[in-house]
Each structure stands twice: as structure tokens, then as C-alpha cells.
A and B are shown apart, each in its own frame.
Chain A
Amino acid sequence: MSNLQDTWVYLSASPLFHLTLTLVAFQLGSWIYERSGRHPMLNPVLLAVIVIVGVLLATRTDYGTYFEGAQFVHFLLGPATVALAVPLYRQLDRVRSSALALVVSLVAGSVTAILSAILIGRMSGATPQILASLAPKSATTPVAMGITEQLGGVPTLTAVLVIVTGIVGAMLGPMVMTLLGVTDWTARGLAMGTASHGIGTARALQVSETAGAFSGLAMGLNALATALLLPVIWGLLS
């Protein structure tokens, strides 16, 4: 028994355990997702988070300890964002030929995201702190956290809300666009990236390189648009 205890003490102090847990949970999530015929409600990120939170609560592990292991996965978000330049370059002709339409649609989407988040949040009774944490939800995590901090929200809550926004977009976005009759990959990708940043882009990349490239581009541009527009809209509404 004390041997087992010692092993556990060793494992929980080493980053290896929580790093492996992250990989195993995600692969389990992906397996269930594929098995279900890619059912949108069985999003692999969502499933992985549920499994990991379950394990951490059962073993009374705090998030800080978990993150010591998981940070190695988290770190790769930066390089992966840089790597989005490759699909973007491969779609250069398409991007060039639709540059104006792209920028207009992006700004329309960015304003919709900000305005609707503030108005719906306010109407449904969000506290000012929650509202400030919700407002930048469609921007990628580092930008969203920075904005929330300026507005007096909770940056670590924003990080979670941004992820949930990504999951919601990945779950519902393709269905909504099909219902609306939007079939071309440029428009579908652009919308996924604008509303749901990297998680939307991950979903778009699975179905089409064109959609993935436009989604990655939209994610980058919407980070910029949100950083510039949100403080202005927030000021006008309060």
C-alpha cells in the first residue's frame, strides 16, 4: 500500500502523468467522435475536458498541478498558429480574388459577435464582471484575455468562455450554414474562424483545406478587429 502511495506521489509530481492524461483523454474523445460518425454534439475537446476534470476531481488534484504537465501541449498553440501561414499561402489566389468581400464580411461578423454578446448578456442578467468576461469571446485566447482585463472581467474565466465558444461554433456552425444554404468553402471557413477562432479552424481543416485556410485567416484578422472595435463598442453602450 505504501509502495502504491509512493508511486502516486512520484507520478503526481512529475509532468509526465498529466501530459499523458491529456493525450489519452483527447484520443478517447476523438475515438468516440469518429465512432459516432462525427456527431457534432460529441466534440472531442469537450469530451476530453470532461474526462480530465473527472480524473482531477477524483484524485483531488488542483488545476495548477495539472497544468505543469499540460503546459507542453498548451505551448504548441503558438507554433500551430504560425503554421497556419502554410494553408493560407496555398490559397493565396482565392484570398487575393476575394479580398474586399473577405474584409467586409469579417468586420460584419466581428461587430455582430461583440454587439450580440454584450446585448444578450445584458438582457439575460449577466453581472458587469461576467459581461466583461463574455464580450471578447470570439477572439483568440490571448487577445480575449487582454481585453477582459482592461474591462474589469476575469481573464481566466474568459479563457474558458473562449474555448466553449469555439466548441459551440464547431458543434452548431456547419449545421446552421447548411440550413442557410451557404455551401462554398471560403464563406464557411471565414465564418468558422471569425466566430470560433482556432477550434472552428480545427473543425474547418478537417473538411477542406480552403475552409481551413480562410478560417485561420479570419481568426487572425478577428483578433485584430476585436482588439480595435470592442473597446469602442463597449464605450458606446455603457
Chain B
Amino acid sequence: MLGYLTLIFTCQLIGELVTRALALPVPGPVIGMVLLFLFLLVRKGVPEGLGTVSATLLQNLSLLFVPAGTGVMLHFELIGRSLLPITLTLVVSTVLTIAVTALTMSWLSRGRGDV
């Protein structure tokens, strides 16, 4: 378990270093995800311990957004002044994005008979 947790941290650390060194427009953890993915490709399978560690982290993924979400208290006034444009944009644009992505993907894969 500890070994695989170290592996995940190491992937992230290398990711952070690569992003900074090459000034990439992608966050370090996303590069770390690519690195771990490459590791799994080379190893041709998910070791049991890694499966356990990743399941533990991902089962509680939404919890990890709570501290940043609480940052809303820093901006009550700013948000209050622009409540209408913010609400309208977030709701309509998010729904539209989900609809366009889902319909495009569903349409393109249906064409190939692969659902």
C-alpha cells in the first residue's frame, strides 16, 4: 500500500516538475495521471495494492472539493453584485456543454454501431 501511495506521489511530483520546467498549459497532476497510465501500460495490469489505493482516493473524490468550495465566503459581496449573470452563465453554459458533448459522442459512436 505504502509503496503504491509513494508511486502516486512520485508521478505527481514529476508531473509538477515537468509542467514547470517546460511551461506546459496543463496542471502537474494531469501529467502525473499520464505517467501512471504509462506505468500501467508497461506493466500490463493494475497491481492489487494500487487498485486499493486508487479506489480509496476516488471513492471520496467529491470530499476533496469542499475546502476550495468553502472559499465562496471570500466573495459573497462580489458574487452578490453579479448574481444574475453568474447564475445564468453557470447553469445554461454547463447544461449546454453536457448536451453537446453527450449528443456528439453518442451520435458518432452510434454511426459505427459501437455502443
Residue from the list B11, B26, B69, B98 in contact with A192, Cβ < 8 A: B98
What is the number of residues of chain A that contact chain B, defined by CB distance less than 8 Å? 109
For B106, list chain A residues within 8 Å (CB): 182, 184, 187
Q: Nearest Cβ distance between residue A89 and chain B, in whole angstroms?
A: 4
Does B95 touch A at the CB level, under 8 Å? yes
User: What are 14 A-B interface contacts by the 8 Å CB criterion?
Assistant: A67-B67, A82-B11, A83-B58, A98-B109, A102-B105, A120-B88, A130-B85, A163-B72, A170-B62, A180-B103, A190-B101, A191-B98, A195-B98, A216-B33
Q: Would A53 and B105 count as touching, CB distance under 8 A?
A: no
Known contacts A83-B8, A86-B51, A98-B114; is-contact A156 B74 (Cβ 8 Å) = yes
For A160, list chain B residues within 8 Å (CB): 68-69, 71-72, 74-75, 79
Counting contact residues on chain B (CB < 8 A from A), the size range is 35 or more
List residues of chain B with CB under 8 Å of any chain A CB.
5, 8-9, 11-12, 15, 25-30, 32-37, 39-41, 46, 50-51, 53-55, 57-59, 61-75, 78-79, 82, 84-86, 88-106, 108-109, 112, 114-115
Most chain A CB inside 10 Å of its own CB: which residue of B12, B25, B46: B25
Nearest-CB residue, chain B, relative to A126: B85
Residue from the list B73, B84, B100 in contact with A57, Cβ < 8 A: B73
For A112, list chain B residues within 8 Å (CB): 93, 96-97, 100-101
* Beyond A105-B101, A182-B103, A190-B102, 16 additional pairs, beta carbon < 8 A: A52-B66, A74-B67, A78-B32, A79-B12, A81-B12, A81-B32, A89-B46, A116-B89, A134-B85, A140-B30, A142-B27, A142-B28, A143-B26, A156-B71, A194-B98, A196-B98
